[in-house]
Amino acid sequence: MRRLTPRRLLVLALLLLTLPVAPARADGRGTVAVAPGTAAPGATTTVTGSGWPAGTLLTVLLCGQNAVSGTDSCANTAERAVTTAPNGTFTVKLPVVAPPKPCPCVIRTTSVTGADLTVDTPFPVLGVAEVPIVPTPAKLLALTAELDGGNGPMNWFGAPAHRVLRVLVANLGSTAVQNPVFRLGVWHSVFAPGWQDYQWTGTIAPGVRQEIDVPVDLPFAAHGGYSIELAYAGRQLATRQAELPRPWGVALFWALLYVVVPVGLFRTGLYLLDRRRPRAVPAEPGPPTLDLPWFAPGTVLLPVHPTSSKGT
């Protein structure tokens, strides 16, 4: 067996530097590879990807501490943006800069448009100290929040309204969050909020963004301003306002009811009175009368003699 002389060790190290890092998969849909797989600050590495959605805008940057605290641990000044090709591939050159936090370091590729995809590729930075990551509790931070949904024809007649609270959260801790239970509060005007639990099924890894869709059910005939709040671990994440129109169909229904019911009662009363009223008995017909011709007073009636039909 040959001995590993310093020269041979140097050649072996150079060969290892030129080998690309094994591709990492982005949520089962895209992969990322880095070549060379390690470098010192001031060098440049090539980041390539495949299997990503076409036309997706991506950001690529180098982060320390495995990006468990988000972009605060990344070299944001050296960030690069790239758009995937129609076949889902991309290539971008990333300058190697010492991140603001020590290694272990990763190259984070995150989608800006389209589906929320993030992949971290290990990338040791030569000359940067490596400090073990201190486990910290999971901490969710809301990045964006919006309220979706509208009213339909049935809501005009007071049917309960439905909305969806979409919140994009990021895990700033170093531990994953599994099946988190959120608290959803809904209140109107100065009334106390009504709280209910909502459990989201899934895992939010450290430094990963995740969209949480929480269904919001509003009461019957709800109108005016409603406040909607989402909380986690006793801390408020997001608050949004919903302005609902007045259900005029309910007022129209009661107005028609106040008109139709009295009219119906009045007609029913007339019908009952008509049923209780005694019926007139028709008189029996008398002897027939003979209608005689009219003669003026003083007229003498002469007897009528029948004429004989015999001849003389």
Q: pLDDT, tens digit, for every residue of 136-148?
A: 788 898 989 998 8
Is 62 within 8 Å of 107 (Cβ atoms)? yes
Q: Dig out the tokens for 104 from the structure.
A: 């272990």
Question: How confident is the model at residue 262, as a pLDDT?
Answer: 81
Instruction: Please tell me whether residues 22 and 85 are part of one structural domain.
Output: yes
Sheet containing 106-111: order of strands = 80-83, 57-63, 106-111, 118-122
Question: How confident is the model at residue 82, as a pLDDT?
Answer: 95
Q: pLDDT, tens digit, for every residue of 153-199?
A: 666 666 678 889 999 998 888 788 999 999 999 988 777 788 999 99
Question: How confident is the model at residue 224, as a pLDDT?
Answer: 76
Tell me which H or E stretch contains 195.
strand 194-199
Instruction: Please tell me whether residues 158 and 206 are part of one structural domain.
Output: yes
φ, ψ for residue 299, nearest 5 deg? -80, 130
| Count of structural domains, the chain | 3
> How far is it, in rounded angstroms, from Cα 76 to Cα 69?
13
Q: Which domain holds residue 267?
A: 247-275
Is 22 within 8 Å of 33 (Cβ atoms)? yes
CATH number of the structural domain spanning residue 158: 2.60.40.10
Instruction: Please tell me whether residues 205 and 252 are part of one structural domain.
Output: no
16 has pLDDT over 50: no
Q: pLDDT, tens digit, for every residue of 71-87?
A: 888 999 999 999 999 99
Mean pLDDT rounded to a whole number for the chain:
80
Q: pLDDT, tens digit, for every residue of 27-72?
A: 446 899 999 999 999 999 999 999 999 999 999 999 998 888 778 8
pLDDT band at 1, cuts 50/70/90? very low
Instruction: Please tell me whether residues 43 and 64 are part of one structural domain.
Output: yes
More confident residue, 183 or 4: 183
Question: How confident is the model at residue 48, as a pLDDT?
Answer: 96
Kindly list the distances between the CA atom of residue 24 and the CA atoms of 50, 66, 122, 296, in Å, as whole numbers in the listed order. Answer: 10, 14, 9, 133
Instruction: Please tell me whether residues 178 and 263 are part of one structural domain.
Output: no
Question: How confident is the model at residue 166, as a pLDDT?
Answer: 93
Q: Dig out the tokens for 106 from the structure.
A: 């990763």
Question: Under 8 Å CB-to-CB from 118, ≥6 apart: which residues?
Answer: 26, 27, 108, 109, 110, 111, 207, 208, 209
Domain termination site, one of 88, 122, 156:
122
75 domain residue, yes or no: yes
Question: How confident is the model at residue 12, as a pLDDT?
Answer: 43
pLDDT band at 280, cuts 50/70/90? low
Is the peptide bond prior to 104 cis by the omega test (within 30 degrees of 0)? yes
Across 210-216, average pLDDT? 91
Largest CA distance in the chain: 186
Instruction: Please tell me whether residues 115 and 162 are part of one structural domain.
Output: no
Nearest 10 degrees: CA dihedral of 156, 158, 159, 161?
Answer: 80
Cα–Cα nearest to 97, from 110, 81, 78:
78
